[in-house]
Amino acid sequence: MTIPDRLLMGPGPSNPYPEVVVAFTQPLLGHLDPEFLHILDETCARLRTVFGTTNALTLPISGTGSAGMEACFVNLVEPGDTVIVGVNGVFGERMCEVARRAGAEVLRVDAAWGEAIDPQRLLDAHAAAPHARLLAVVHAETSTGVENHIEPLRALQATDTLLLVDTVTSLAGIPLDVDGWGIDAVYSGTQKCLGVPPGLSPVSFSARAVDRIRGRSQPAQSWYLDLGLLADYVGTARRYHHTAPISMLYALHAGLGVVLEEGLDAAHARHRHVGGLLQDALPEMGFRPFALDRPLPQLTSVWLPEGVDDAKVRAELRVRFGIEVGGGLGELAGKGWRIGLMGHSARERSVTTLLGALATLV
Could you report the per-residue pLDDT of 55-74, keeping only the tens digit for each? 999 999 999 999 999 999 99
Whole-number pLDDT of residue 280 = 98
CATH number of the CATH domain containing 87: 3.40.640.10
pLDDT at 123 over 90: yes
Judgement on whether residues 161 and 271 belong to the same structural domain of the protein: no
Query: Which residues have a Cβ under 8 Å from the Cβ of 313 and sit 6 or more positions away?
Result: 304, 361, 362
H/E stretch holding 268 reads: helix 264-281
**Which pLDDT tens digit goes with each residue over 296-334?**
999 999 999 999 999 999 999 999 999 999 999 998 999
Judgement on whether residues 68 and 117 belong to the same structural domain of the protein: yes
Widest CA span of the chain, in angstroms? 62
Q: Which of 228, 260, 292 is where one domain is finished? A: 260
191 within 8 A of 14, measured Cβ to Cβ: yes
For residues 131-160, give the mean pLDDT. 98
Residue 87 placed within a domain: yes
pLDDT at 134 over 90: yes
How many Å apart are CA 324 and CA 315, to the nearest integer? Answer: 8
Whole-number pLDDT of residue 236 = 83
pLDDT confidence band for 360 (50 / 70 / 90): very high
Query: Which residues have a Cβ under 8 Å from the Cβ of 244 and sit 6 or more positions away?
Result: 31, 36, 40, 62, 233
Residue 171 placed within a domain: yes
Judgement on whether residues 147 and 221 belong to the same structural domain of the protein: yes
Residue 1 placed within a domain: no
For residues 2-21, give the mean pLDDT. 97
Whole-number pLDDT of residue 182 = 98
How many Å apart are CA 95 and CA 70, to the nearest integer? Answer: 9
Judgement on whether residues 100 and 240 belong to the same structural domain of the protein: yes
pLDDT at 237 over 90: no
Work out how many domains the chain is built from and give that number: 2
Judgement on whether residues 301 and 181 belong to the same structural domain of the protein: no
For residues 282-286, give the mean pLDDT. 97
Q: Which of 234, 260, 286 is where one domain is finished? A: 260
Residue 92 placed within a domain: yes
Cα separation of the two ends of the chain: 33
Residue 144 placed within a domain: yes
Judgement on whether residues 255 and 309 belong to the same structural domain of the protein: no
Judgement on whether residues 182 and 291 belong to the same structural domain of the protein: no
DSSP letter, residue 171? T
Report the candidate in 183, 77, 206, 92 with the shortest Cα–Cα distance to residue 132. 77
* Residue 324, domain extent: 7-12+264-359
Whole-number pLDDT of residue 323 = 98
Residue 2 placed within a domain: no
pLDDT confidence band for 292 (50 / 70 / 90): confident
**AA letter at 292:** L
Cα 172 to chain centroid, rounded: 10
Judgement on whether residues 172 and 201 belong to the same structural domain of the protein: yes
Judgement on whether residues 242 and 171 belong to the same structural domain of the protein: yes
Judgement on whether residues 313 and 232 belong to the same structural domain of the protein: no
Residue 22 placed within a domain: yes
* pTM value > 0.85: yes
H/E stretch holding 69 reads: helix 65-76
Q: Which of 260, 294, 312 is where one domain is finished? A: 260
Polymer length in residues for the chain: 362
Judgement on whether residues 108 and 207 belong to the same structural domain of the protein: yes
pLDDT confidence band for 148 (50 / 70 / 90): very high
Judgement on whether residues 240 and 311 belong to the same structural domain of the protein: no
CATH number of the CATH domain containing 297: 3.90.1150.10
How many Å apart are CA 46 and CA 177, to the nearest integer? Answer: 14
Residue 334 placed within a domain: yes
